[in-house]
Structure 1
Amino acid sequence: MTTPDADPSSERSRTIHYQVPGKDKRAPFARSGLEQLQAVAAGEAPAPPISSHIGLEIVTVGEGDVVMTAVPDESHYNPIGSVHGGFFATVLDSVCGCAVHSTLPAGVGYTSLEIKVSFLRPVTADTGPVTAHGWVIRAGRSVAFADADIRDQEGRVLATASSTCLIIRPAACP
Protein backbone atom coordinates (compact mmCIF):
# COMPACT_ATOMS: atom_id res chain seq x y z
CA MET A 1 0.00 0.00 0.00
CA THR A 2 1.35 3.41 -0.87
CA THR A 3 0.36 6.77 0.54
CA PRO A 4 0.09 9.93 -1.59
CA ASP A 5 3.48 11.10 -0.26
CA ALA A 6 5.22 7.76 -0.76
CA ASP A 7 7.72 7.27 -3.55
CA PRO A 8 6.38 4.34 -5.66
CA SER A 9 9.96 3.33 -6.51
CA SER A 10 10.51 2.51 -2.82
CA GLU A 11 7.77 -0.16 -2.81
CA ARG A 12 9.11 -3.67 -2.18
CA SER A 13 7.68 -7.16 -1.94
CA ARG A 14 8.72 -10.31 -0.18
CA THR A 15 8.06 -13.95 -1.01
CA ILE A 16 8.07 -16.53 1.74
CA HIS A 17 8.88 -20.18 1.07
CA TYR A 18 8.21 -22.86 3.67
CA GLN A 19 7.24 -26.49 4.01
CA VAL A 20 3.77 -27.30 5.26
CA PRO A 21 4.05 -29.29 8.50
CA GLY A 22 3.13 -32.97 8.12
CA LYS A 23 -0.42 -34.08 8.74
CA ASP A 24 0.73 -36.68 11.30
CA LYS A 25 0.86 -34.57 14.45
CA ARG A 26 2.47 -37.41 16.43
CA ALA A 27 5.48 -37.90 14.11
CA PRO A 28 7.65 -35.15 15.67
CA PHE A 29 7.18 -36.76 19.09
CA ALA A 30 9.05 -39.92 17.99
CA ARG A 31 12.35 -38.12 18.70
CA SER A 32 13.56 -36.25 21.74
CA GLY A 33 13.39 -32.47 21.54
CA LEU A 34 17.17 -32.28 21.21
CA GLU A 35 17.12 -34.78 18.31
CA GLN A 36 14.34 -32.83 16.58
CA LEU A 37 16.19 -29.53 16.83
CA GLN A 38 19.49 -31.08 15.75
CA ALA A 39 17.74 -32.47 12.66
CA VAL A 40 16.37 -29.00 11.81
CA ALA A 41 19.79 -27.39 12.36
CA ALA A 42 21.42 -30.00 10.09
CA GLY A 43 18.81 -29.49 7.36
CA GLU A 44 17.52 -33.05 7.79
CA ALA A 45 14.08 -31.84 8.91
CA PRO A 46 12.17 -28.76 7.76
CA ALA A 47 12.24 -25.64 9.89
CA PRO A 48 8.92 -24.47 11.32
CA PRO A 49 7.08 -22.14 8.88
CA ILE A 50 7.44 -19.15 11.25
CA SER A 51 11.19 -19.27 10.57
CA SER A 52 10.61 -18.17 6.97
CA HIS A 53 8.79 -15.03 8.03
CA ILE A 54 11.69 -13.62 10.01
CA GLY A 55 14.74 -15.41 8.58
CA LEU A 56 15.21 -17.41 11.78
CA GLU A 57 17.89 -20.13 11.72
CA ILE A 58 19.32 -22.42 14.37
CA VAL A 59 23.07 -21.92 14.81
CA THR A 60 23.73 -24.31 17.70
CA VAL A 61 21.61 -26.53 19.88
CA GLY A 62 22.62 -28.31 23.07
CA GLU A 63 20.60 -29.60 25.97
CA GLY A 64 18.91 -26.57 27.50
CA ASP A 65 20.84 -24.11 25.32
CA VAL A 66 19.97 -22.82 21.83
CA VAL A 67 21.44 -20.10 19.63
CA MET A 68 19.60 -18.72 16.58
CA THR A 69 20.10 -15.90 14.13
CA ALA A 70 17.56 -13.68 12.39
CA VAL A 71 17.80 -10.81 9.97
CA PRO A 72 15.59 -7.78 10.65
CA ASP A 73 14.65 -5.85 7.54
CA GLU A 74 12.30 -3.07 6.48
CA SER A 75 9.36 -5.49 6.20
CA HIS A 76 9.53 -5.77 10.01
CA TYR A 77 9.17 -2.00 10.59
CA ASN A 78 6.55 -0.38 12.80
CA PRO A 79 5.01 3.02 11.94
CA ILE A 80 7.98 4.96 13.37
CA GLY A 81 10.59 3.27 11.17
CA SER A 82 12.20 0.77 13.50
CA VAL A 83 11.82 -2.99 13.84
CA HIS A 84 8.51 -3.90 15.46
CA GLY A 85 8.60 -5.41 18.94
CA GLY A 86 6.73 -8.42 17.58
CA PHE A 87 9.89 -9.39 15.68
CA PHE A 88 11.83 -9.50 18.95
CA ALA A 89 9.03 -11.26 20.80
CA THR A 90 8.82 -13.94 18.11
CA VAL A 91 12.57 -14.54 18.06
CA LEU A 92 12.81 -14.60 21.87
CA ASP A 93 9.76 -16.87 22.25
CA SER A 94 11.30 -19.23 19.68
CA VAL A 95 14.74 -19.42 21.28
CA CYS A 96 13.30 -19.83 24.81
CA GLY A 97 10.84 -22.48 23.65
CA CYS A 98 13.51 -24.38 21.74
CA ALA A 99 15.85 -24.29 24.75
CA VAL A 100 13.07 -25.93 26.79
CA HIS A 101 12.24 -28.32 23.92
CA SER A 102 15.87 -29.45 23.81
CA THR A 103 15.50 -30.87 27.34
CA LEU A 104 12.42 -32.99 26.62
CA PRO A 105 12.37 -36.73 25.98
CA ALA A 106 10.56 -38.32 23.04
CA GLY A 107 6.79 -38.11 23.38
CA VAL A 108 6.80 -34.94 25.49
CA GLY A 109 5.89 -31.48 24.20
CA TYR A 110 5.69 -27.91 25.47
CA THR A 111 3.88 -24.66 24.88
CA SER A 112 4.60 -21.11 25.99
CA LEU A 113 2.58 -19.98 29.00
CA GLU A 114 4.00 -16.49 29.19
CA ILE A 115 6.90 -14.37 28.04
CA LYS A 116 8.19 -11.03 29.29
CA VAL A 117 10.22 -9.06 26.79
CA SER A 118 12.36 -6.00 27.56
CA PHE A 119 13.34 -3.84 24.58
CA LEU A 120 16.68 -2.19 25.27
CA ARG A 121 17.84 -0.64 21.97
CA PRO A 122 16.14 0.35 18.73
CA VAL A 123 16.82 -1.79 15.68
CA THR A 124 16.57 -0.99 11.97
CA ALA A 125 17.43 -2.84 8.78
CA ASP A 126 20.91 -1.30 9.12
CA THR A 127 21.48 -3.28 12.32
CA GLY A 128 22.12 -6.42 10.27
CA PRO A 129 21.83 -9.99 11.53
CA VAL A 130 21.07 -10.50 15.20
CA THR A 131 21.88 -13.46 17.42
CA ALA A 132 19.44 -14.84 19.98
CA HIS A 133 20.62 -17.08 22.81
CA GLY A 134 18.16 -18.98 24.99
CA TRP A 135 18.91 -21.14 28.01
CA VAL A 136 16.87 -23.10 30.52
CA ILE A 137 16.93 -21.76 34.07
CA ARG A 138 14.89 -24.56 35.62
CA ALA A 139 13.10 -27.53 34.12
CA GLY A 140 10.47 -29.16 36.28
CA ARG A 141 8.03 -31.97 35.54
CA SER A 142 5.18 -29.68 34.46
CA VAL A 143 6.77 -26.23 33.97
CA ALA A 144 10.11 -24.97 32.67
CA PHE A 145 11.67 -21.51 32.86
CA ALA A 146 14.03 -20.03 30.27
CA ASP A 147 15.82 -16.72 29.70
CA ALA A 148 17.12 -15.26 26.45
CA ASP A 149 18.74 -12.25 24.88
CA ILE A 150 19.23 -10.84 21.40
CA ARG A 151 22.53 -9.20 20.48
CA ASP A 152 23.79 -7.27 17.48
CA GLN A 153 27.02 -8.06 15.64
CA GLU A 154 29.03 -6.00 18.13
CA GLY A 155 27.63 -8.01 21.05
CA ARG A 156 25.34 -5.25 22.36
CA VAL A 157 22.19 -6.56 24.04
CA LEU A 158 19.12 -5.37 22.10
CA ALA A 159 16.35 -7.18 24.00
CA THR A 160 15.92 -9.76 26.75
CA ALA A 161 13.17 -12.17 27.75
CA SER A 162 12.04 -14.50 30.51
CA SER A 163 9.68 -17.30 29.55
CA THR A 164 7.55 -19.90 31.29
CA CYS A 165 6.65 -23.04 29.33
CA LEU A 166 4.10 -25.72 30.13
CA ILE A 167 5.44 -29.26 29.73
CA ILE A 168 2.87 -31.47 28.01
CA ARG A 169 3.08 -35.13 28.95
CA PRO A 170 2.09 -37.97 26.52
CA ALA A 171 -1.57 -38.22 27.51
CA ALA A 172 -2.01 -34.55 26.55
CA CYS A 173 0.20 -34.48 23.40
CA PRO A 174 -1.59 -34.24 20.03
Structure 2
Amino acid sequence: KPRQYPEKFMLRGAGTGKSKFIRGLLLDAIDSEEHNWKLARKYEVITKNEPLFEEHRVDDAELVIVAYGTAARIAKGAIKRLREHGMKVGLFRPITLWPFPELKLRTLSSKIKNYLVFEMSTGQMLEDVRLALQGYANIDFHGRPGGAVPTPAELANVVAKIYDKKD
Protein backbone atom coordinates (compact mmCIF):
# COMPACT_ATOMS: atom_id res chain seq x y z
CA LYS A 1 0.00 0.00 0.00
CA PRO A 2 1.44 3.43 -0.93
CA ARG A 3 2.57 5.59 1.95
CA GLN A 4 0.71 8.88 2.43
CA TYR A 5 2.62 11.99 3.47
CA PRO A 6 1.22 15.23 4.89
CA GLU A 7 0.22 17.77 2.23
CA LYS A 8 2.79 20.31 3.49
CA PHE A 9 5.65 18.04 2.32
CA MET A 10 4.32 17.39 -1.20
CA LEU A 11 5.61 19.13 -4.30
CA ARG A 12 3.02 19.73 -6.98
CA GLY A 13 5.03 21.10 -9.90
CA ALA A 14 5.31 24.52 -11.50
CA GLY A 15 2.29 26.81 -11.51
CA THR A 16 0.13 24.67 -9.27
CA GLY A 17 0.10 26.77 -6.12
CA LYS A 18 2.26 28.02 -3.32
CA SER A 19 6.01 27.53 -3.71
CA LYS A 20 7.95 25.31 -1.34
CA PHE A 21 11.57 25.75 -0.34
CA ILE A 22 13.87 22.76 -0.39
CA ARG A 23 17.22 23.18 1.26
CA GLY A 24 20.32 21.12 1.81
CA LEU A 25 22.12 20.17 4.99
CA LEU A 26 23.83 23.55 5.30
CA LEU A 27 22.42 26.90 4.21
CA ASP A 28 25.60 28.95 4.22
CA ALA A 29 27.74 28.46 1.09
CA ILE A 30 31.03 28.68 3.02
CA ASP A 31 29.83 26.15 5.61
CA SER A 32 28.67 23.87 2.81
CA GLU A 33 32.03 24.07 1.03
CA GLU A 34 33.95 23.36 4.26
CA HIS A 35 31.69 20.40 4.95
CA ASN A 36 32.28 19.03 1.43
CA TRP A 37 36.08 19.34 1.83
CA LYS A 38 35.82 17.53 5.17
CA LEU A 39 33.90 14.72 3.44
CA ALA A 40 36.48 14.60 0.62
CA ARG A 41 39.29 14.13 3.18
CA LYS A 42 37.25 11.42 4.90
CA TYR A 43 36.67 9.61 1.58
CA GLU A 44 40.40 9.83 0.82
CA VAL A 45 41.22 8.07 4.12
CA ILE A 46 38.55 5.43 3.46
CA THR A 47 39.85 4.87 -0.08
CA LYS A 48 43.37 4.37 1.26
CA ASN A 49 42.57 2.16 4.27
CA GLU A 50 39.36 0.25 3.59
CA PRO A 51 39.62 -1.69 0.28
CA LEU A 52 39.19 -5.41 0.88
CA PHE A 53 40.07 -8.17 -1.59
CA GLU A 54 41.05 -11.81 -1.89
CA GLU A 55 43.74 -13.25 -4.14
CA HIS A 56 43.43 -16.90 -5.15
CA ARG A 57 46.26 -18.72 -6.95
CA VAL A 58 47.81 -15.56 -8.39
CA ASP A 59 51.43 -16.34 -7.41
CA ASP A 60 52.24 -18.06 -10.71
CA ALA A 61 49.23 -16.92 -12.74
CA GLU A 62 49.54 -15.81 -16.35
CA LEU A 63 45.89 -14.72 -16.50
CA VAL A 64 43.73 -13.44 -13.64
CA ILE A 65 39.94 -13.50 -13.48
CA VAL A 66 38.52 -10.45 -11.68
CA ALA A 67 35.13 -11.37 -10.20
CA TYR A 68 33.00 -10.74 -7.12
CA GLY A 69 30.08 -12.45 -5.41
CA THR A 70 28.61 -15.54 -7.03
CA ALA A 71 30.79 -14.99 -10.11
CA ALA A 72 33.90 -15.37 -7.91
CA ARG A 73 32.66 -18.74 -6.63
CA ILE A 74 32.10 -19.87 -10.22
CA ALA A 75 35.57 -18.59 -11.13
CA LYS A 76 37.19 -20.71 -8.42
CA GLY A 77 35.58 -23.81 -9.93
CA ALA A 78 36.76 -22.82 -13.40
CA ILE A 79 40.28 -22.14 -12.12
CA LYS A 80 40.45 -25.65 -10.64
CA ARG A 81 39.52 -27.15 -14.04
CA LEU A 82 41.90 -24.89 -15.97
CA ARG A 83 44.85 -25.65 -13.70
CA GLU A 84 44.20 -29.38 -14.13
CA HIS A 85 44.83 -28.70 -17.84
CA GLY A 86 48.06 -26.80 -17.17
CA MET A 87 46.71 -23.26 -17.49
CA LYS A 88 48.05 -20.85 -14.88
CA VAL A 89 44.93 -18.90 -13.97
CA GLY A 90 44.18 -17.03 -10.73
CA LEU A 91 41.44 -14.92 -9.18
CA PHE A 92 41.34 -11.37 -7.84
CA ARG A 93 38.11 -10.95 -5.87
CA PRO A 94 37.20 -7.44 -4.72
CA ILE A 95 35.31 -7.77 -1.45
CA THR A 96 34.56 -4.05 -1.34
CA LEU A 97 33.50 -2.49 -4.63
CA TRP A 98 33.83 0.93 -2.98
CA PRO A 99 36.45 1.67 -2.30
CA PHE A 100 37.64 -0.49 -5.16
CA PRO A 101 41.08 -2.05 -4.47
CA GLU A 102 42.58 -0.44 -7.56
CA LEU A 103 46.11 0.05 -6.18
CA LYS A 104 46.44 -3.63 -5.28
CA LEU A 105 45.13 -4.66 -8.70
CA ARG A 106 47.54 -2.27 -10.41
CA THR A 107 50.42 -3.65 -8.32
CA LEU A 108 49.46 -7.15 -9.42
CA SER A 109 49.65 -5.98 -13.03
CA SER A 110 53.40 -5.43 -12.66
CA LYS A 111 53.83 -9.20 -13.00
CA ILE A 112 50.55 -10.37 -14.60
CA LYS A 113 49.47 -8.78 -17.89
CA ASN A 114 46.24 -10.61 -18.80
CA TYR A 115 42.87 -10.15 -17.05
CA LEU A 116 39.31 -11.31 -17.60
CA VAL A 117 36.56 -9.39 -15.85
CA PHE A 118 33.77 -11.88 -15.21
CA GLU A 119 30.41 -10.61 -13.97
CA MET A 120 26.81 -11.73 -13.80
CA SER A 121 25.89 -8.37 -15.32
CA THR A 122 26.71 -6.23 -18.34
CA GLY A 123 29.90 -4.95 -16.73
CA GLN A 124 29.24 -2.78 -13.69
CA MET A 125 32.74 -3.46 -12.30
CA LEU A 126 34.43 -3.41 -15.70
CA GLU A 127 35.05 0.35 -15.67
CA ASP A 128 36.70 0.13 -12.24
CA VAL A 129 39.06 -2.54 -13.55
CA ARG A 130 39.78 -0.51 -16.69
CA LEU A 131 40.59 2.56 -14.60
CA ALA A 132 42.96 0.49 -12.47
CA LEU A 133 44.69 -1.36 -15.33
CA GLN A 134 44.41 0.83 -18.43
CA GLY A 135 47.82 0.93 -20.03
CA TYR A 136 49.21 -1.70 -17.64
CA ALA A 137 47.52 -4.91 -18.82
CA ASN A 138 45.22 -6.58 -21.35
CA ILE A 139 41.57 -6.67 -20.24
CA ASP A 140 38.83 -8.95 -21.57
CA PHE A 141 35.22 -9.14 -20.40
CA HIS A 142 32.66 -11.92 -20.08
CA GLY A 143 29.24 -11.06 -18.69
CA ARG A 144 26.01 -12.99 -18.26
CA PRO A 145 23.14 -10.65 -17.37
CA GLY A 146 19.65 -11.86 -16.78
CA GLY A 147 19.03 -14.90 -14.67
CA ALA A 148 21.04 -17.73 -16.14
CA VAL A 149 23.86 -18.68 -13.80
CA PRO A 150 26.99 -19.60 -15.75
CA THR A 151 28.78 -22.83 -14.88
CA PRO A 152 32.47 -23.24 -14.08
CA ALA A 153 32.76 -25.28 -17.31
CA GLU A 154 31.33 -22.42 -19.38
CA LEU A 155 33.73 -19.93 -17.81
CA ALA A 156 36.63 -22.35 -18.24
CA ASN A 157 35.87 -22.51 -21.99
CA VAL A 158 35.85 -18.70 -22.23
CA VAL A 159 39.11 -18.43 -20.28
CA ALA A 160 40.79 -21.17 -22.35
CA LYS A 161 40.11 -19.24 -25.58
CA ILE A 162 41.57 -16.05 -24.10
CA TYR A 163 44.49 -17.95 -22.55
CA ASP A 164 45.43 -19.41 -25.93
CA LYS A 165 45.53 -15.89 -27.47
CA LYS A 166 47.48 -14.17 -24.65
CA ASP A 167 50.88 -12.55 -25.23
TM-score by length of 2: 0.25
Return the structure number with greater strand share.
Answer: 1
Return the structure number with greater helix share.
Answer: 2
TM-score by length of 1: 0.25
